[in-house]
Amino acid sequence: MAETIIIDHQLSGREKYQALLPQLKALVQGETDLVANLGNILSALHYAFGFHWTGCYLVRDNELVLGPFQGPVACTRIGLGKGVCGTAWKENQLLNVPEVDEFPGHIACSALSRSELVLPVHGSDGAVVAVIDIDSEIPARFSADDEAMMLEVIRLIEALPGW
């Protein structure tokens, strides 16, 4: 098990992800508890990139329920199609929102969030089982590189035991 995540903060965003991915794989290797693995992955992402909020919502009884996260307190439950997270879940697609105040029906869990990246996580049957939600205080913070590299992280998350 990895004890420390090492990231050179002078690297480009893509280079940070490339340095982080093998460390995430080592971090979860041999651990079978889903919550522990999600917590560690989300913590590593949060601190490697300095995001405002980094977490997940788990699909439970036809709504999204707050799971492991890093950052300020958050909304506990989100309905299907509600806000950015509920919309990403309903539409089963990545959403990169450069200015959250312009997103119809945005749920402001934190007034400091300005941009948001949300990615669905799929179970073995292809259904959405969770969404990964990353918020930034910087408008238009998330690039095509963030999208592409976070899809790599999602593949790691989808392979975790416990879904």
CATH number at residue 96: 3.30.450.40
Asked whether residue 163 is domain-assigned, the answer is no
95, 87 Cβ separation under 8 angstroms:
yes
Beta strands in the chain (DSSP E): 53-60, 63-70, 77-79, 95-97, 115-122, 128-136
pLDDT (tens digit per residue) in 35-88: 999 999 999 999 999 999 999 999 999 999 999 999 999 999 999 999 999 999
Is residue 7 in some structural domain?
Answer: no
Number of domains within the chain: 1
Mean pLDDT over 3-30 rounds to 93
Judged on CB neighbours under 10 Å (0-12, 13-18, 19+), 28 is: buried
Within a domain: 4: no
Model confidence, pTM? 0.94
* 1 occurs within a structural domain: no
Domain membership of residue 24 (yes or no) is yes
Cα distances from 152 to residues 22, 111, 155, in angstroms, run: 11, 29, 5
Is 8 within the bounds of a domain? no
Give residue 129's domain range. 13-158
